[in-house]
């Protein structure tokens, strides 16, 4: 986790499924009321519903923080779109 100004940036790596839920919960639990949080997903090829749930928990716990799901693959962006995450997270399209 890196602090850049008043924002936090987390670089995530690997697949996130039920086996890593406790790890994700602990990592997200370290985040406090930051004006901006960026989750860098460039090295995340797969997530399951447990990861999606932890994102919702993070959003609900920090509703005033702007949370960006950065560098998500087209497959992840598609999943985020299906579950409606574009209404609660920033999900920029990579160029």
CATH code that applies to domain 2-87: 3.30.750.24
Domain boundaries, the chain: 2-87
Q: Give the pLDDT score at 3.
A: 53
SS (H, E, C) the chain: CEEECCEEEEEEECCECHHHHHHHHHHHHCCCCCCEEEEEEEECCCECHHHHHHHHHHHHHCCCCEEEEECCCHHHHHHHHHCCHHHCCECCCCC
The stretch 18-31 carries a mean pLDDT of: 94
The structure's pTM equals 0.90
Q: Give the pLDDT score at 95.
A: 59
């Amino acid at each position: 986790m890196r602090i850049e100004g008043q924002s936090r940036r987390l670089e995530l790596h690997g697949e996130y499924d039920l086996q890593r839920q406790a790890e994700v919960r602990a990592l997200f639990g370290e985040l406090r009321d930051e004006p901006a949080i960026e989750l860098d997903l460039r090295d995340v090829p797969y997530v399951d519903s447990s990861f999606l749930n932890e994102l919702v928990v993070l959003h609900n716990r920090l509703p005033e923080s702007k949370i960006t799901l950065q560098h998500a693959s087209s497959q992840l962006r598609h999943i985020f779109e299906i579950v409606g995450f574009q209404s609660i997270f920033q999900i920029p399209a990579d160029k």
